[in-house]
Chains A and B, each alone.
Chain A
């Protein structure tokens, strides 16, 4: 009996630690790949969600009086903001009053979040450029996409900072409902990143820099056999930099990437991954960013070139250098997609 109990404890213990290990591993993968702050809210579903003051008849218990008016009937605008036109500031002399305004039948998507001050942001709808907008001086942006069919849409965004550096493309697949306003908020475009050199002598300083939203906290991850995480803070201009002494790193290839946390608490996913070499220099990719025709974009043209070379060898299109244009090269093209 005692043996059985011991056996049970032993196996339960192993199972428990294995579960913990795997949860940790999964969580690490989650942190490293997904955008953590983004939320979706649907205006017109009767539920007050992120960024909405009200939704249809649901006013969240708010009245004209609680908003500081004398009396009247509060209602909800089609964009899920309060309509106070039915509220009175003084004692009413006559009848009247507000009524429920049914939400408009317009189907639209609102995308809002943060990028970099005055950044040019490209928005893709199912991989094709849908709009190009500019963030304000505080790095905030907001745009509406109208005339959109209901269904599942993939929205991707990338930004270009003041130095012309491109961010990584981030994507969201969202169900768009007919006659509803779908808001995708808390988008935080990952920081841009650049290195002052890609070949470093061991012990030499490496400058890692880029741009993000003003005064954001930046975590710089140097992926080595042992991961090194460094912290810095972006200036008011959104510029950030870190001088990293490469003494702790072994000779060979290393990669670095960064992520940001805005003063409001929005967390971005990781930036592009940049490689640098310590010691022996290795040549860079022939066609970086899967831009096969070298037009500074990764789009349908590059996809066509990949299709043409599929199963064959082309040193430019075989991005991962495994001797053949195949599935990993297609995946790398999807990763660098700019539309």
Chain B
């Protein structure tokens, strides 16, 4: 009996040592904190981070599931994320208990540099609110297998990937000091999104060669919530880049508003250049000029005395 116990322990130990290097060689998607105790109505933040394990990556596709019976995902903040371009903005599906996004880092991310004062490996922050419960429950937040990380190698190679999930204990009743981490973060954020530019493009490859605009910015505090576009005297409309313009003559003032999660706004405006003379004004001026020249020439001809031939 003792002999077989020893064998089991021995094999477990060997298996651990053999598989340990395999685990550390992959990029890791992990959550912070990975554990904790929370009460009803507590609002807490879970940070999603990546450890690239020395590799350079440029694309992250993350799919997570959470225990929707005890947790409500109220927000996803992209503030301070290393991902700057969002192929698919973070989406929360409360009914299914799923969160997903696809984002990219132009030029890639290779981990923290020596001397780095912080932790520049944040992908995003999920804000959870604890639902009412009458008994102690477990809340699980885990990465799904369809999550993917791609290497910055110019070939779109998938990186070896492993996950570190999170388990929280949900306790019945409210705590004496209710956690309001997200509210506190929003209150601190009084900085608008970063300045940005509106680019006007007409390309035969998209929108049937019609004029469209592209824009994007970041917010280093609570993250971008949404964009709005206003054409001329029209209303503000929730928009995404690329945005097909209604005014294809580009005669209206175009405004793009970036709004962060705390409600701070940054508005960028494009004013069409006023032409001194429109094409038809130039044509009329030319016609008038030609008429004047013709009249002047005719007058000159009439005024010039005919030479008598002698």
Let me know if A154 is at the binding interface, CB within 8 A: yes
* A:280-339 near B, CB below 8 Å: 292-293, 300-301, 303-305, 307-310, 314, 316-317, 320, 327-337, 339
CB closest chain-A residue, reference B56: A33
Let me know if B110 is at the binding interface, CB within 8 A: yes
Chain B residues near A273 (CB-CB < 8 A)? 154
Question: Contacts A304-B214, A332-B156, A334-B105 known; A327 to B116 CB distance under 8 Å?
Answer: no
Chain B residues near A11 (CB-CB < 8 A)? 14, 17-18
Chain A residues near B53 (CB-CB < 8 A)? 26
Q: When the two chains form their complex, are residues A330 and B214 in contact, meaning their CB atoms are under 8 A apart?
A: no
Q: When the two chains form their complex, are residues B87 and A307 in contact, meaning their CB atoms are under 8 A apart?
A: yes
Q: Which of A4, A30, A273, A300 has the most CB of B within 10 A?
A: A300
CA distance A174 to B220 in the complex (A): 12
The contact size tier of chain B is 35 or more
Question: Contacts A301-B201, A335-B58, A335-B153 known; A330 to B114 CB distance under 8 Å?
Answer: no
Chain B min CB distance to A326 (Å): 9
Let me know if B269 is at the binding interface, CB within 8 A: no
Chain A min CB distance to B27 (Å): 11
Chain B min CB distance to A29 (Å): 6
Can you list, as one digit per residue, whether each of B197-217 has a CB less than 8 Å from chain A (1) or not (0)? 101010101110000101110
Let me know if B148 is at the binding interface, CB within 8 A: yes
CB closest chain-B residue, reference A171: B107
Q: When the two chains form their complex, are residues B106 and A152 in contact, meaning their CB atoms are under 8 A apart?
A: no
Q: When the two chains form their complex, are residues B194 and A149 in contact, meaning their CB atoms are under 8 A apart?
A: yes
Let me know if B169 is at the binding interface, CB within 8 A: no
CA distance A175 to B206 in the complex (A): 37
Q: When the two chains form their complex, are residues A171 and B108 in contact, meaning their CB atoms are under 8 A apart?
A: yes
CB closest chain-A residue, reference B119: A175
* A:5-25 near B, CB below 8 Å: 7-8, 11-12, 14-15, 18-19, 22-23, 25
Q: When the two chains form their complex, are residues B156 and A156 in contact, meaning their CB atoms are under 8 A apart?
A: no
Let me know if B55 is at the binding interface, CB within 8 A: yes
Can you list, as one digit per residue, whether each of A67-96 has a CB less than 8 Å from chain B (1) or not (0)? 000000000000000000000000000000
Q: When the two chains form their complex, are residues A175 and B54 in contact, meaning their CB atoms are under 8 A apart?
A: no
CA distance A128 to B152 in the complex (A): 18
CB closest chain-A residue, reference B191: A149
Chain A residues near B105 (CB-CB < 8 A)? 154, 171, 173, 334
CA distance A172 to B108 in the complex (A): 8
Question: Contacts A327-B59, A335-B152 known; A174 to B113 CB distance under 8 Å?
Answer: yes
Let me know if B196 is at the binding interface, CB within 8 A: yes
Chain B residues near A104 (CB-CB < 8 A)? none
Within 8 Å by CB of A314, from B156, B205, B207, lies B205
Let me know if B31 is at the binding interface, CB within 8 A: no
Q: When the two chains form their complex, are residues B201 and A29 in contact, meaning their CB atoms are under 8 A apart?
A: no
CA distance A301 to B120 in the complex (A): 27
CA distance A211 to B67 in the complex (A): 55
Chain B residues near A309 (CB-CB < 8 A)? 205-206
Question: Contacts A33-B54, A330-B59 known; A175 to B153 CB distance under 8 Å?
Answer: no
CA distance A34 to B107 in the complex (A): 12
Chain B residues near A213 (CB-CB < 8 A)? none
Can you list, as one digit per residue, whether each of B70-114 has a CB less than 8 Å from chain A (1) or not (0)? 000000000111101101000000000000001011111111111
CA distance A156 to B207 in the complex (A): 30
Let me know if B118 is at the binding interface, CB within 8 A: yes
Let me know if A177 is at the binding interface, CB within 8 A: yes
Q: When the two chains form their complex, are residues A39 and B115 in contact, meaning their CB atoms are under 8 A apart?
A: yes
* B:236-268 near A, CB below 8 Å: 241-242
CA distance A128 to B85 in the complex (A): 11
Chain A residues near B109 (CB-CB < 8 A)? 154, 171, 173
Q: Which residues of B contact A (CB under 8 A)?
A: 10, 14, 17-18, 20-22, 24-25, 53-56, 58-59, 61, 79-82, 84-85, 87, 102, 104-122, 148, 150-157, 191, 194, 196-197, 199, 201, 203, 205-207, 212, 214-216, 218, 220-221, 241-242
Q: Which residues of A contact B (CB under 8 A)?
A: 4, 7-8, 11-12, 14-15, 18-19, 22-23, 25-26, 29-30, 33-35, 38-42, 45, 49-50, 124, 126-128, 149-154, 156, 169-175, 177, 182, 184, 272-273, 292-293, 300-301, 303-305, 307-310, 314, 316-317, 320, 327-337, 339
